[in-house]
A and B are shown apart, each in its own frame.
Chain A
Amino acid sequence: MKCDIILSGVGGQGILSIAAAIGLAAVDNHLFLKQSEVHGMSQRGGDVQSHLRISDRPVASDLIPHGKADLIISMEPMEALRYLPWLSETGWLVTSSNPYVNIPDYPPVDKLLTEIKEVKNYMIIDSDAMAKEAGSLKVGNMVLLGVASRFINLPVISIENAVRKLFKDKGDEIIAINLKALKSGMDFRR
């Protein structure tokens, strides 16, 4: 088993929480993993990405080779497209449809969605709406994790436990909202 995942978004959107949840679930299943993160200048509203690699044999490179990612999970539609050179022919692109506009020349969203639909395997999710439904706009990342989890060969219970562990210091209410968002993503059907 191996799953190479690119997580993308804008600094502050919570991609590292997605990475941490998958990472904890992978450790729970005795898998090998490497996860490269972006720290520093780009975190100030710039584009950020994380390479997360899980496998049942040791992982060599901290970076995913071009054309080898099994999955892109993007918090944002334009950022989803930025990492297409990494996506394998059979890979899935899971992205939020909600744009994060902090540059003057941000392209029209419908054009971005048209480009995303050019990819063979994609899922576009209105994660803001589903996060709001779950109780907080902040849990859009868990919605996307829920949607993407069907492409990651990890037991549902492991991912749920990872989310519980990740937010254990934040209180029961926060955990419940995050789990609700995760579940709504898992239940999502195109």
Chain B
Amino acid sequence: MQRLFLLGDEAIALGGIDAGMSGMYAYPGTPSTEIMEYVQRFPEAVERDIHREWSCNEKTALEAALGMSYTGKRAMAAMKHVGLNVAADAFINSAITGVNGGLIVVAADDPSMHSSQNEQDSRFYGKFSYVPVFEPSSQQEAYDMVFDAFDLSEKLRLPVLMRITTRLAHSRSAVLRKHPHPQKKINLPADPRQFVLLPAIARKKYRSLLSAYESLKYDNRINKFNIFRDGINRKLGVIACGIAYNYLIENLPDHDPDFPVLKIAAYPFPPDIIRDITERCEEILVLEEGYPVVEELLRGILDDNLKVLGRLDGTLPRDGELNPSIVAKALGMSAKPLRKVPEIVKPRPPSFCKGCGHSDTFQAIMEALKMFSTEGVFSDIGCYTLAALPPYNIINSCVDMGASVTMAVGAADAGLFPSVAVIGDSTFTHSGMTGLLDAVMKNSPVTIIISDNSTTGMTGGQKSHATGRLVSICSGLGVDPGHIRQITPLRKNHDENVRIMTEEFGYRGVSVIISSRECIQTALRRKKSETAGTTSKKDE
């Protein structure tokens, strides 16, 4: 079979395509974006007409995937870890409804917060909702697991959560393809009430979910991924989860441990496999990316009958991602002193691209705000968050998708005037629209600036649902058309833009300023592909 050199994200996408998935649903978010992008550009996915359009947000993505599962077809929803918060309502209830066609939810966690606001561990969502979790350690395992996850999902009629972290998502390695499966045909659920969570039905279904979760621990499709290997040196045993297993193996001569090792790549696991290792060893080191999930299970609340080493006793750092060097230290291996980074090396934070429209928008905001007592604006998640850094220093918040609008409303409720929010176009259609409706309903004195670059910029320029629709969305939500202002953030328009902003900041009602100019990166790519006469290819 064909061998491909794939990112972890791409391996999951290809696994879905080859396992007969009929739809991929996603909202872009680092480090998960490349899952959908691979489906969008992979020729066989196009030939098979697999659904591959971006969704408005992670909640709509997961619900649509559940709808596809309802018809009996296989579907996948992919998102970054914080996206699963947005989709959590749908996710947790999908465990109770159960699925019809196989449903996989992929959550890509970002320990060390390379491109995120937190480093929450999605494995918690598995336990929270009582669904199985797969945590692959390699690109090949990620690809292979998709087949098992779909089978398991259909066998137990449960969604399956696949958890990866940044380093697997964005690392390439060879993946051997399997023979592709055909897509499923429409076959509606035998029980027409399966998806009706009226309390009487939900209570019954919840009880069967609880018993299904217990039986999961003994399911071969889970346990074939949790592998115990005994060793002669039994002082220390190591439990390594997901990609942490690679960091363990990396440090061992010939990649061959002489001590007992339990690799965990699927949850929930039965007590026996834990007992296998704890009964043999004096001490257990737990290696896992993210929160000390397995470590806390082992310690229990009394933490007194087993010597456990990990993140909670300082053997490993309490936060941040692991790497081979951290694991070497935890194994007690002596490290040679390393070269130091010379002091003259300065941090090089990300910054606005030269000619970015966001920067012109912020220049105008900074000047217009000088006429008022308010300092700074509420803002949101996207490239424009970079205005929190010098020379702008103009952003006072970046919390979660859409929070700029609602925080501005709350601050206005408290009497802050003017109360200004800056939100990107794609973030606005993700989660800003409902907050704007709140503002309209009580005529909050807020100004919402939609910094519209006609794309989802930070994640590499995916289609924005807002493009061409912002005026009609805002007027449809009830914003007075006289206070929906459209500007073009260019240096030559600076004075005019400052004037318009000053007018709207001073208005005691809901106003929206739509500041539109195409992202400089997507514009460059578009021009390149137009001159080449081909569709743009994704490069770095």
Q: Contact residues of A with B, CB < 8 Å?
A: 10-12, 14-17, 23, 27, 32-47, 51, 57-67, 78-79, 81-82, 84-85, 87, 89, 102-103, 105-107, 111-112, 115, 119, 169
Q: B9: nearest residue on chain A (CB-CB)?
A: A39
Q: Tell me if B297 counts as interface (CB < 8 A to partner A).
A: no
Q: Contact residues of B with A, CB < 8 Å?
A: 3, 5, 7, 30-31, 33-34, 114-115, 167-168, 170-174, 243, 246-247, 249-251, 255, 323-325, 328, 335-336, 338-342, 344-353, 383, 386, 458-460, 534, 537, 539-540
By the criterion CB–CB under 8 Å, are B173 and A40 in contact? Answer: no
Residues of B within 8 A of A58 (CB): 255
Q: State the CA gap A115–B344 with chains docked (Å).
A: 9
Q: State the CA gap A51–B30 with chains docked (Å).
A: 19
12 further A-B pairs in the complex, CB-CB below 8 A; given A44-B386, A105-B346: A27-B174, A36-B170, A39-B170, A40-B30, A42-B114, A45-B352, A45-B353, A61-B246, A62-B246, A65-B324, A66-B324, A169-B537
Q: State the CA gap A43–B336 with chains docked (Å).
A: 32
The 10 closest A-B pairs by CB, nearest first: A40-B30, A40-B115, A46-B350, A61-B250, A62-B171, A65-B324, A44-B350, A36-B171, A60-B250, A60-B249
Quote the shortest CB–CB distance from B375 to chain A (angstroms). 23
Q: B339: nearest residue on chain A (CB-CB)?
A: A84
Residues of B within 8 A of A33 (CB): 5, 172-174
Quote the shortest CB–CB distance from A36 to chain B (angstroms). 4
Of B5, B246, B255, B346, the contact of A27 (CB 8 Å cutoff): B5
Would you mind naming 26 contact pairs between A and B with Cβ atoms under 8 Å apart?
A35-B171, A36-B171, A39-B34, A39-B115, A40-B30, A41-B458, A42-B115, A43-B350, A58-B255, A60-B249, A61-B246, A61-B247, A62-B167, A65-B251, A65-B324, A66-B338, A67-B335, A67-B339, A78-B345, A78-B346, A84-B339, A84-B340, A85-B338, A102-B351, A106-B346, A111-B344
Quote the shortest CB–CB distance from A145 to chain B (angstroms). 15
Q: State the CA gap A27–B2 with chains docked (Å).
A: 13
Residues of A within 8 A of B114 (CB): 38, 40-42
By the criterion CB–CB under 8 Å, are A39 and B33 in contact? Answer: yes
Residues of A within 8 A of B168 (CB): 62
Q: State the CA gap A47–B350 with chains docked (Å).
A: 8
By the criterion CB–CB under 8 Å, are A41 and B115 in contact? Answer: yes
